[in-house]
A and B are shown apart, each in its own frame.
Chain A
Amino acid sequence: MMSGTAIVVTSGKGGVGKTTAAANIGAGLAMSGPTVALVDADIGLRNLDLVLGLENRIVYDLVDVVEGACDVQKALVRHKHIDNLSLLPAAQSRDKTAVTPDQMKALTMTLRESFDFVILDCPAGIEQGFKNAISGADKAIVVTTPEMSAVRDADRIIGMLESEQIRDPWLIVNRIRPDMVKRHDMMNVDDLLDFLKVELLGVVPDDESIIVSTNRGVPAVMEEKSRAGRAFRDIAARILGNDVPIAAMLEPDDWLARFAKWLGISRG
């Protein structure tokens, strides 16, 4: 049997959008057919369940599985609306030292046998939680925002991934504000690529709909109208090997753009 692909979503710096990206990419991939397991590797700071609206369905968690207290199939929580999407929740009352990299590697291996994609949501930092999350990954997605400290940390993470033999990571630039980029008050995507020299997987605008959809527990990819949701749908499509252009998202969302859209003029 063909084994699935394990992708870790990481960043170094905290709060740049790893969990948001993992949830939306997982849901986006699953919506186009493949089976997806989302793994919350942020042990002690469980969050992925909230973004997916699955917090009330958790019985067992990742640490239970690793410690042999229950079977992995039993711990997986199936998504309410997307049948082929499942979540393996993080333990909330334990910490990162409850799991070793070898255990995570074995767990990822097991999941890859029954899912097309295993998406791992990595904790912030470069310590054990990071090492655990990346240990079983074939590929990494590095999330950054267009801010100095996030880019600096991304650079560090890219180096660390390389020394762990996870080469050619993909980059997601999150929370871009086209208006600020236009005013030269924010670094643009090309600036970031100049520094980081990795392949761009996608650009996600700073978008209120992320907060709204997190409040509702429905990932933005599932919302037809969300701009960030559309960016994540495009990202999922690119992971599946489709050639989707990136530029569209970089136009500012000003009244003119909205008016043009209303008139049905696509700015492609």
Chain B
Amino acid sequence: MMEFLARLFGRVETETSRECARNRLRLVLVQDRATLSPHVMEQLKSELIEVISRYLDIDEGDMRVELDTSDASVALVASIPVKEIKRESAGAF
């Protein structure tokens, strides 16, 4: 009955408040959850340094690694200053 009335008055077309809450909550939780524990973050950093150092001479002190949540999605953003490109890594000729 309620559903019939709702349809009659076109309420079904518009977003229900439940859907509205679900959609908003989905975005909020993506952002809230986008944190790594300090321990995991440190480990990620040190492993990044390990891998990248094989190819580039980097400045670890000024390195920044963080999760960016400014959009609806989450991105891992790393800024790693390069001091020198290792000779053996440089493009040949």
Contact = CB atoms under 8 A, between A and B. Distances in A.
Given A156-B32, A185-B18, A151 B25 contact: yes
Contacts of B37: 163
Interface in A92-136: none
B19 interface: yes
B19 A184 contact: yes
A186 to B, nearest CB: 6
Interface residues of B, number: 16
A191 B22 contact: yes
Nearest to B24: A148
B25 A148 contact: yes
Contact of B25 (A183, A188, A195): A195
B89 interface: no
A186 B19 CA distance: 9
A126 to B, nearest CB: 12
Interface residues of A, number: 18
Contacts of B17: 184-186
B70 interface: no
Interface string A146-190: 011001100110010001000000000000000001111111100
Contacts of A182: 2
B16 A155 contact: no
A156 B35 CA distance: 11
Contacts of A183: 2, 6, 16
Contacts of B33: 155, 159
A148 B21 contact: yes
A218 to B, nearest CB: 35
B29 A195 contact: yes
B28 A187 contact: no
B18 A188 contact: yes
B54 to A, nearest CB: 32
Given A163-B37, A182-B2, A187 B32 contact: no
Given A151-B25, A155-B32, A195-B29, 16 more contacts: A147-B21, A148-B24, A148-B28, A152-B25, A152-B29, A155-B29, A181-B18, A182-B2, A183-B6, A184-B17, A184-B18, A186-B18, A187-B21, A187-B25, A191-B18, A195-B26
Interface of B: 2, 6, 16-19, 21-22, 24-26, 28-29, 32-33, 37
24 contacts: A147-B21, A148-B28, A152-B28, A152-B29, A152-B32, A155-B29, A155-B32, A155-B33, A156-B32, A159-B33, A163-B37, A182-B2, A183-B6, A184-B17, A184-B19, A185-B17, A185-B18, A186-B18, A187-B18, A187-B22, A188-B18, A191-B22, A195-B25, A195-B26
